[in-house]
């Protein structure tokens, strides 16, 4: 997640063309206090970016070949950072691939210094929104997995002790309270013990 103030960001510009990179740098001059790093080499790019630990990465590719584009998409997938990518022209497949690769802003034929700040803002906002969605999804999946575990544990207790579902749940709850653990943790222990004993 991007934590720094927008005016104090560490920004990496990736561009093999120094002239084009200067256009982005000019646009970033509206953000006083930020640190800007320009990388012009594709070799060891991932390592270079990780050493800088940027808040956002701006990649300008001009008119890349499909192989070059895919190479940068691979970098995008590996970075948990907002990424804005500039290309001169594109097609539907490349745009779809950029979304799959986690690119926050994919800008076609829009490299102009006065647009850089708004693109940067957009990339950060989209990245944060996507991160929230991922977090919410992970939480929902976790709760669903916990519910499944509790249901399994209840069935095990019901079968082994001949009790009703409410009674099985009450037993899980009592054990959780007496051991200061969550019911899901007790349920997992019950299921694990059952599986270890081979009582399937």
Q: What is the pLDDT of residues 151-197, one digit of tens each?
A: 999 999 999 999 999 999 999 999 999 999 999 999 999 999 988 88
Tell me how crowded residue 37 is: count the other CB atoms within 10 A of its CB: 15
CA–CA separation, 102 and 76 (whole Å): 6
Q: Where are the beta strands (DSSP E) in 30-73?
A: 35-39, 56-62
CA–CA separation, 145 and 149 (whole Å): 6
For the residues 92-116, what does the mean pLDDT come to?
81
pLDDT of residue 3: 46
CATH class of 137-196: mainly alpha
Domain boundaries, the chain: 6-135, 137-196
List, in order, residues 6 or more apart from 180 with CB less than 8 Å away.
none
CATH architecture, range 6-135: 3-Layer(aba) Sandwich (3.40)
The residue with tokens 């561009």 is: 15
Q: Which residues pair with 87 in a beta bridge?
A: 62, 108
Look at 88-102, 127-141, 171-185 and tell me which has the smallest mean pLDDT: 88-102
Q: How confident is the model at residue 6 (pLDDT cuts 50, 70, 90)?
A: low
Cα separations in angstroms, 5 against 8, 35, 120, 121, 148: 5, 12, 13, 12, 41
> Do residues 86 and 111 touch, judged by C-beta distance below 8 A?
yes
Q: Where are the beta strands (DSSP E) in the chain?
A: 10-14, 35-39, 56-62, 83-87, 105-108
Angle, in degrees to the nearest 10, between helices 116-161 and 183-196: 60
Q: Which residues pair with 27 in a beta bridge?
A: none
Q: Which residues pair with 11 in a beta bridge?
A: 36, 56
Structure tokens at 102: 């986690």
pLDDT at 147 > cutoff 70: yes
For the residues 44-66, what does the mean pLDDT come to?
85
Residue 59 is classified by DSSP as: E
Q: How confident is the model at residue 2 (pLDDT cuts 50, 70, 90)?
A: very low
pLDDT at 7 > cutoff 70: no
pLDDT at 110 > cutoff 70: no
Structure tokens at 196: 């270890």
pTM exceeds 0.75: no
CA–CA separation, 77 and 98 (whole Å): 9
pLDDT at 88 > cutoff 80: yes
Structure tokens at 31: 């953000």
pLDDT of residue 106: 85
Name the average pLDDT for the chain: 84
For the residues 58-63, what does the mean pLDDT come to?
83
């Amino acid at each position: 997640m991007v934590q720094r103030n927008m005016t104090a960001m560490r920004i990496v510009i990736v561009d093999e063309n120094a002239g084009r990179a200067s256009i982005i740098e000019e646009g970033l001059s509206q953000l006083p206090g930020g640190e800007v790093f320009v990388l012009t080499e594709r070799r060891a790019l991932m390592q270079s970016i990780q050493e800088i630990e940027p808040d956002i990465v701006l990649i300008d590719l001009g008119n890349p070949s499909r192989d070059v584009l895919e190479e940068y998409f691979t970098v995008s997938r590996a970075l948990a950072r907002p990424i804005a990518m500039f290309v001169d022209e594109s097609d539907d497949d490349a745009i779809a691939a950029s979304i799959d690769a986690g690119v926050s802003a994919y800008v076609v034929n829009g490299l102009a210094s006065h647009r850089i700040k708004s693109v940067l803002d957009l990339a950060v906002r989209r990245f944060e929104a996507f991160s929230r969605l991922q977090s919410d999804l992970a939480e929902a999946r976790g709760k669903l997995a916990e519910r499944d575990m509790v249901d399994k544990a209840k069935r095990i207790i019901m079968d082994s002790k001949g009790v009703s579902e409410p009674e099985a749940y009450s037993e899980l709850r009592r054990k959780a309270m007496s051991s200061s653990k969550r019911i899901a943790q007790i349920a997992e222990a019950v299921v694990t013990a059952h599986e270890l004993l081979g009582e399937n």
